Every structure is written in structure tokens, then in C-alpha cells.
């Protein structure tokens, strides 16, 4: 069944009057009003934006101007730093902008969101996969593409169990390293074909031909500035350019996977499925809480670097609130969840979140239905 076909008939339960979502939304809105705070970005967010963008483009300028060629350790170190720059821009700047959580200006949100295009991705695909499918149908097999890694990795108990999955808790980490490289080469085109077939491109007021042309032009520009220009001007052999490029995306792919997967693919996740009538047992907000987890809430470096995405529960309930506010509203969300008898999963450290994800990969690799 196509994504759109499922999307049209999968329905969440009604939220009811005075529901958890009603209460937590009122309380969060009151927090911003009482403190006279905008739920969008602030000066701290602007400083962070400059830092994250600089983390990517300053090393690039040092590479492409040949200044980094004096030392190969420095040369590769700058590519690695650019990899972390991709993570920083993706988690902190592009992410909020494409959720319209950065500013009231649609033009500025689109501009900052389009930073993904010059990092090798495609903002249109990202908005469909992440904003529409992942945020609506979190952890529902066949709808949430964030838990779809093909046949290689089993991230849902509703996905067929294969013999090779017995070892996925070992090899998945190596596959995560290739995630970005696959995305910037083949995946974006595959997604366009799928979204065109399922009618999702039409809902974005575009066509397959137009999207493919735009994507191809963006890929050409990306290859030109990230590989061709360094080959011409960096004063190092081409294979070092290619090696740095691969290192950058290995760092980015592995890091991004370690940010997003522990927030949803852990033992505490509900992984509920629709009934034969394509109905969900819980309403949307409860479903989000049951399938999402926070981690490392007191680690200021983690909070700053990954854009508050360690507060995934808050992000899924309030995607149009800038992540800079998540640590504050997390207390409100947790209290509200507990009042309604909902589990509020928080893993104390980043390390514990990674371990929890690894354990869940092992469970999903050995049990057809954990």
C-alpha cells in the first residue's frame, strides 16, 4: 500500500476535551506569555547560527584557498570539523527553519532552511520525510521513513525479521557512517520518485520533472564547490580531496544517526500499529510521547550543539517552538505527562541513550515481535 493510501486512512483517536495536549499546550503558551518571551529564536540563537555556519564554511575557505595544504593533519582535521558543521547546521539552524520555528519571516525561514541544499541534501525531500511523515506517523512502519533503512537494518517490530538482523547491533553503526553519502547521491532521487508516485510532490505544488531538474542543478553546484574547486585550488592531490570529503560525510552521517535514532528506537518506544480498520488506539499527542525519548537534559554542550534535539518529546509536541526554549518547557511537559499518567522517558546521558539504542537494535534483530 502506498504512503499516501495509508496516510489517507490511518487515523488517530480523538484527543477529547481537556486532553493532555490541550493542557500542555495551554501551559506552554502561558509560559511564553507570562515571561514575555517569543517562542521563536532569540539573540542566543543568532549567535549559535553564526557559530554553526562558521564551523562549516571557515574550514572550507581554508581548504579551498590552499592555506590548509601546509599540513595534512590540519587538512583532514578541517574536513572533520566541516562534518560537525553539517551536524550543527542540520540540527540547530536548518531544522528549526524548516519547521518555521526560527523566525516569523517566511522568506528567512526558507533561506536558512535551504542551507540543507548547499550541504548536499534537498530541503523539499526533507520537509516531506521529516515534517509530514515522521512528525505525524512517528514509529509507524510504512509511514515513518526515519525508521526505514531498507532491508539492512530492522528498526521496527512490524518489519520482516531476517537472519542477518541478528548482527545488526554490530554492523548498524558502520551503516550509519554511510548514511549521508547515500543520501547525497542516490537517496534524494529515490525519494522524489516515491513522493511523485504517492502524490506527495503534488501536495508541495511541484512536479517530478521540476523537482528532478532542481535537485540535479543543486547536486552539480554542490559537487562543483565541494570537490572541483578544492581539486583546482587546494594544492593537494585529488585523492586527498576525495578522502576529506568522505571523512566529512562519515562524521556527519554517524553523528546524525546517533542524535535521531536513540530518541525513537529504544525499548521504551511503543511502536503501536493501526488496527485492521487503519485506526490508532491513542490520539496523536499521546502517540508522540509514547514513541519518543529525551536524553542528556543536563548536558549543556549536547543541548547547545545538537539544537535541543535531545529534547525530542518537546520537539515533537511543539515543532514550531525554537529549540532554544526546550530545556525550560521540558519541565512543563514532564509535569503534564505525569499528571495524565503518561510515561515521560528521559535517559540521563548521551552515552546511556546510545547504549539503549544498541540494545534495542539487538532485541529487534533477535525477536520477531519484542
Q: Supply the pLDDT for residue 218.
A: 97
Domains in the chain, number = 1
**In-domain check, residue 34:** yes
**In-domain check, residue 201:** no
User: pTM for the full model?
Assistant: 0.93
**In-domain check, residue 264:** yes
Residue 332 has pLDDT above 90, yes or no: yes
**In-domain check, residue 206:** no
**In-domain check, residue 203:** no
Going by C-alpha positions, the residue among 229, 308, 253, 260 that lies closest to residue 120 is: 253
Range of 131's domain? Answer: 10-185+220-366
**In-domain check, residue 330:** yes
**In-domain check, residue 286:** yes
**In-domain check, residue 212:** no
Residue 196 has pLDDT above 60, yes or no: yes
**Which residues are bridge partners to 148 per DSSP?**
154
Helix axes 20-34, 326-339, angle to 10 degrees: 140
**Residues 87-118: tens digit of each pLDDT:** 999 999 999 999 999 999 999 999 999 999 99
**Residues 257-288: tens digit of each pLDDT:** 999 999 999 999 999 989 877 889 899 999 99
Amino acid at each position: 500500500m502506498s504512503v499516501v493510501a495509508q496516510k489517507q486512512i490511518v487515523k488517530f483517536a480523538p484527543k477529547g476535551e481537556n486532553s493532555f495536549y490541550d493542557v500542555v499546550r495551554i501551559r506552554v503558551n502561558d509560559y511564553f506569555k507570562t515571561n514575555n518571551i517569543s517562542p521563536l529564536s532569540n539573540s542566543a540563537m543568532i549567535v549559535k547560527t553564526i557559530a554553526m555556519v562558521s564551523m562549516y564554511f571557515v574550514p572550507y575557505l581554508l581548504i579551498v584557498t590552499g592555506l590548509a595544504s601546509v599540513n595534512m593533519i590540519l587538512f583532514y582535521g578541517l574536513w572533520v570539523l566541516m562534518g560537525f558543521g553539517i551536524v550543527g547546521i542540520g540540527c540547530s539552524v536548518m531544522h528549526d527553519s524548516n519547521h518555521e520555528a526560527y523566525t516569523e519571516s517566511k522568506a528567512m525561514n526558507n533561506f536558512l532552511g535551504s542551507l540543507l541544499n548547499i550541504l548536499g541534501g534537498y530541503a523539499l525531500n526533507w520537509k516531506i520525510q521529516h515534517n509530514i511523515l515522521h512528525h505525524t506517523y512517528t514509529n509507524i512502519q510504512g509511514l515513518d521513513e526515519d525508521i526505514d533503512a531498507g532491508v539492512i537494518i530492522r528498526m521496527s517490530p512490524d518489519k520482516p525479521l531476517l537472519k542477518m538482523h541478528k548482527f545488526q547491533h554490530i554492523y548498524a553503526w558502520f551503516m550509519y557512517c554511510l548514511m549521508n553519502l547515500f543520501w547525497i547521491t542516490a537517496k534524494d532521487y529515490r525519494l522524489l520518485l516515491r513522493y511523485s508516485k504517492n502524490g506527495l510532490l503534488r501536495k508541495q505544488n511541484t512536479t517530478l520533472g521540476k523537482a528532478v531538474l532542481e535537485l540535479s542543478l543543486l547536486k552539480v553546484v554542490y559537487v562543483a564547490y565541494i570537490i572541483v574547486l578544492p581539486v583546482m585550488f587546494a594544492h593537494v592531490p585529488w585523492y586527498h580531496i576525495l578522502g576529506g570529503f568522505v571523512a566529512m560525510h562519515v562524521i556527519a552521517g554517524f553523528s546524525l544517526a546517533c542524535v535521531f535514532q536513540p530518541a525513537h528506537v529504544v525499548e521504551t518506544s511503543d511502536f503501536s500499529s493501526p488496527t485492521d480498520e487503519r485506526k490508532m488506539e491513542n490520539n496523536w499527542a499521546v502517540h508522540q510521547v509514547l514513541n519518543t525519548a529525551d536524553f542528556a537534559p543536563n548536558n549543556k554542550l549536547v543541548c547547545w550543539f545538537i539544537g535541543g534535539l535531545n529534547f525530542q518529546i518537546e520537539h515533537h509536541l511543539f515543532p514550531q517552538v525554537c529549540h532554544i526554549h526546550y530545556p525550560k518547557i521540558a519541565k512543563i511537559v514532564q509535569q503534564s505527562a505525569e499528571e495524565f499518567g503518561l510515561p515521560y522517558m528521559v535517559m540521563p546521558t548521551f552515552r546511556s541513550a546510545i547504549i539503549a539504542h544498541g540494545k534495542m537494535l539487538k532485541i529487534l534483530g533477535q525477536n520477531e515481535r519484542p
